[in-house]
Amino acid sequence: MRISPVKFKPMKFSINRLLQAAIFSACSMAASGLIAQDDAAQLNTVLDIDALYTPLASQPIYGETATSLLQELQTKHYSSIEIDDNFSSIVFDSYLDALDGSKLYLLKDDVDRLSAYRYTLDDSLKNGSVEAGFAIYNIYYKRILERMIYAVDRVENHIPEMDFTLNESIQIDRENAPFATSVAELDEIWRLRIKNSVLSLKLTGDDDEQIKAKLSKRYRNQLSQIGKTNDRDIFQAYLSTVATAVDPHTSYFSPRESENFNMGLSLSLQGIGAQLTTEEEYTKVAELIKGGPAERGSELQAGDRIIAIGQGVDGELQDVVGMRLDDVVAQIRGEKGTVVRLNVIPTDAVSESSATIVSITRDTVKLEDQSAKKEIIELSYNGGSYKIGVIDLPTFYFDFEAASRGEEDFKSSTRDVHALLDELKEENVDAVVVDLRNNGGGSLSEANQLVGLFIETGATVQIRYSGLRNGFTRSFGDNDPEVAYSGPLAVLVNRTSASASEIFAGAIQDYQRGVVLGGQTFGKGTVQEIIPMGYGQVKLTRSKFYRISGASTQHRGVMPDITFPDFYDAYEDIGESSLDGALPWDTVRAVEYSPYQAIQTLLPKLKELHQQRAEQSADFIYLQDQIVRTKELRQREELSLNELVVKNEREQSRRIEFEAENKRRLAKGLTLREWVEEGADNEDQVLNDDGSLTSISDTETGVDEIKEEDPLLLESGRILADFIALNQNLLSAQNDTPPTTNR
């Protein structure tokens, strides 16, 4: 989660968002609109499992590809891979988890019978057979069809009898729950899930008939989509599980998946510049691509759930809940310059009543749109004035095609940052912050060269390759003695700073060239290579990164010198350490290097001064409180299905958010908000200094009416100001270095 470097947008915290998001039931939110005429026939469809279920079979090419995949894994992966009974057991558990991790479809008897495959998958794969994967999937396929039939029956025939005064509840996270031992037990689990779906809509004001129409359409659409499952889907799911059993960054892509992957960042650049994923029945925005049309428009956010898609400025919105991801992507994908409209449930929404329409003009994400950018923060601190230059680097990019053609002005993150540093020096900045928050990495050579802008010469990273006798390690470094910037430096990172970002931050920290600030980084210290196969391709881990100190960035990431509150701290499932099968942290021999400054000596005092400010900072206190409350909510195990209880929880949530935000505003001398009852006409109003009320839109609330600098960047500037004061003589000597020319 990124705080804007221009305006501080308070991170929205919602008890209800976490409560609702934790459900992930097949219909916890409703689709927009009622059933159209052409859907009416669907309601009359006879829901008979024997008519709907047809087992799917493998093709010869699938078995041949499985054998080839094992060969690639054993001969080219960084680790030594043994395809044995232990590997088979890992694949078996991973496959079941991928299919039914929430224990909502398969019965215990199903799992017991399927356990006969636990230690035989390795043998069948070696023999060129994927029949076991199809057998497991076919049972799951039948069970999910049965559940959809049950769901349709519940919403079409039993809504009036649902009693929302009972003290019933639903289990939020079923990952560690046992499989149901009977159909009756599974029915009860689904009865409660569907009751929650009905309650969710009831709280938006829908009556029973409206709820029935919406949920019936929803489940029948899902049933229709599930019925479109084909043998390619099963093959992709099974072989993908086989590959990721080795490590989480090794993957298999069938020809269709390969096409999507090769188009850019695995569905990332499909018309709007958004990386999509599935979360139960929803298509969720996993990430907005820097520079893409969605990111530029600022309306779509990571975590939003897409429930309907319309083509053009006035095309009818089509429900996509429960639809296959590739089919959703196909609807979003389109010609440059055309418009697509998305009906989305915002990531922090309580219910569908908060769903909004987002219009995006399709475009191509251009490399220059992801370029490094700069700004200057004017900082008054300790009786002095400081100009802090900020370089925002969203990714480590390099235009290989333009460079190979011999073009002199090809795009490169290092060249762009060098030019920005020259501009900042001309503007006489006192210090520079390189902002790598949410930078997922990119070109290794660019990370290496970027370090070179701040040091004279020396190693920047080590890479250990797989091979005989545990492989070999090679160091890469900067051989150019010119330094683009020699002044005070800070690197700002967070939990989603990964790969090349960790190489840069680690090298700056090891050389004591700058202060690393923020949160623990992701911990991805492995390198993957795409290897074409006869049918599809495999993305294979071939090597590992190591810092010049010898420590791996894998698993542990880079720990900052001074820690800032990071909203990602509330989530334990983010980072390499949360991934099953992640390669371990280890070390290699350090290379020779010398520190540039006495940062480690100054750190105790820098931390002390920072802590004094943080304890008094309204923004830091606000963020810390958000993190604490979010952690507490994520520990909840159940959600009430009592209407009065849920309403009270929602009201309490709004009150907590209201008081926390007004506490922050009061401490900063900002306009306070006026408490209004939920659903009141004046809900979008704020209390002015003169006591009057001013209406503001949702997009303005907490954003346009609060023009604030990013508090984490401001604090980074203050830390650099402290560093200047504590190390004035050394910095003065370094700043006497004459300017360098562009590299």
Return d(Cα 462, Cα 464) in angstroms, integer: 7
The token duo for 398 is 């390099």
CA distance 657 to 651: 10
**Nearest to residue 19, comparing CAs of 626, 647, 638?**
638
Question: Which residues are the active-site residues?
Answer: 499, 510, 524
In which residue are the tokens 């009141």 written? Answer: 680
Q: What do you get for the CA distance between the two ends of the chain, in Å?
A: 34
Tokens 């060239």 correspond to 513
In DSSP terms, which residues pair with 374 in a beta bridge? 391
* Exposure string for 387-413, b = 16+ CB within 10 A, e = fewer: ebbbbbbbbbbbbeeeeeeeeeebbbb
Hey, what's the torsion of the CAs at 658, 661, 662, 666, to 10 degrees?
170
Residue bearing tokens 């950018």? 373
* Cβ(96)–Cβ(106) below 8 Å: yes
Relative to beta strand 489-493, strand 638-640 is: unpaired
Q: What is the four-CA torsion angle of 558, 561, 563, 568, rounded to 10 degrees?
A: -10
Question: Which residues contact residue 9 at a Cβ distance below 8 angstroms, ignoring those fewer than 6 apart?
Answer: 3, 702, 703, 706
* Antiparallel, parallel or unpaired: β 458-465 and 472-478: antiparallel
Please name the helix (run of DSSP H) or strand (run of DSSP E) that holds residue 630, with its range, or none.
Answer: helix 618-634
Nearest Cα to Cα of residue 196 among 632, 645, 655, 677: 645
Structure-token match 């530029």, residue found: 296
The shares of helix, strand and coil residues in the chain, as percent rounded to the nearest 5, are: 40, 15, 40
Task: Give 262-316 as a 3 state SS string.
Answer: HHCCCCCCCCCCEEEEEECCEEEEEEECCCCHHHHHCCCCCCCEEEEEEECCCCC
Cα–Cα nearest to 283, from 219, 240, 249, 326: 326
Tokens in use for 125?
A: 């794969």
**b/e per residue 669-679 (b: at least 16 CB within 10 A):** ebeebbeeeee
The Cβ of residue 25 has, within 10 Å, a number of other Cβ atoms equal to: 22
Which of 592, 596, 660 minimizes the C-alpha distance to 626?
Answer: 660
Burial class (CB in 10 A: 0-12, 13-18, 19+), 696: middle
Within 8 A by CB and 6+ apart from 605, the residues are: 722, 726
